[in-house]
Amino acid sequence: MALLEVSNLTKRFGGLIALNNVSFKIEKGAIVGLIGPNGSGKTTLFNVVTGFYHPVHGKILVDGRDITGISPPRACHLGIGRTFQIVKPFASMSVRENVLTAATFSRRWHGHNLDEVCRDVLQKVKIEKLADSFIAGLPIQVRKRLELARALATNPILLLLDEVLAGLNPKEVDDALAIIREIAQTGVTIIMVEHVMRAIMAISERVMVLHHGQLIADGTAREVSQSKEVAEAYLGARLPNASG
């Protein structure tokens, strides 16, 4: 059974169709890349799945449960975690306190010691030495890791990553990809929205492409990189192939 099943999902903002009958299934434990030009509907899709927006049509199932129109807190409690394009940690809190807040909010750690949960999460994203640091002055790499840590602290079964690699240099991108692979190996299903094409093509078992709210391609990284329709959607730019 698919962990995430989206059927005929449609979202409008006035006369603008942000998502147009989008349908797909994602199996448990997969790493799926979600790409497309700016304004193609990628973040809107994340917002609909996590309940920030309600669709005008369609259905969303997570682990067989219909979550269409769910509230964001309920989505979190059911195991849907996400990051945001613009990281906004609690500036008055330390790194550890930010993660502890997320773990407490999720309600998914019954019977666990939350201090131990926070320590484990910070170790997974490799910023445990900065646990007592406050946000001011932390570089973008650490802020991105903290954003990932806060999402992991909700104990997700489905993790939606919205541009967690943006602003990182090539070495930092490679380090982040290694962390994401380790997370996936624990059984968490991951969907990544990203504009760093080299990274998406390297890590994704499957790539989906949105354009003007429609799903125009869905296949392996190599298949998508060779798609004429995808290349045209990117204004004639050639996408890196699966080995690039």
pTM: 0.93
| Band of pLDDT at residue 240, cut at 50, 70 and 90 | low
Question: Tens of pLDDT along 186-223?
Answer: 999 999 999 898 999 999 999 999 999 999 999 999 89
pLDDT tens string 83-125: 999 999 999 999 999 999 999 998 888 888 999 999 999 999 9
Structure tokens at 184: 């996936």
At 134-145, the pLDDT tens digits run 998 899 999 999
**pLDDT confidence tier of residue 242, bands split at 50, 70 and 90:** low
Q: Which fold has domain 1-77+189-244?
A: Rossmann fold (3.40.50)
SS (H, E, C) the chain: CCCEEEEEEEEEECCEEEEEEEEEEECCCCEEEEECCCCCCHHHHHHHHCCCCCCCEEEEEECCEECCCCCHHHHHHCCEEECCCCCCCCCCCEHHHHHHHHHHHHCCCCCCCHHHHHHHHHHHCCCHHHCCCECCCCCHHHHHHHHHHHHHCCCCCEEEEECCCCCCCHHHHHHHHHHHHHHHHCCCEEEEECCCHHHHHHHCCEEEEEECCEEEEEECHHHHHCCHHHHHHCCCCCCCCCCC
239 pLDDT more than 70: no
- The mean pLDDT of 150-164, rounded to a whole number, is 97
Report pLDDT digits (tens) over 5-63. Answer: 999 999 999 999 999 999 999 999 999 999 999 899 999 999 999 999 999 999 999 99
For residue 244, the model assigns a pLDDT of: 42
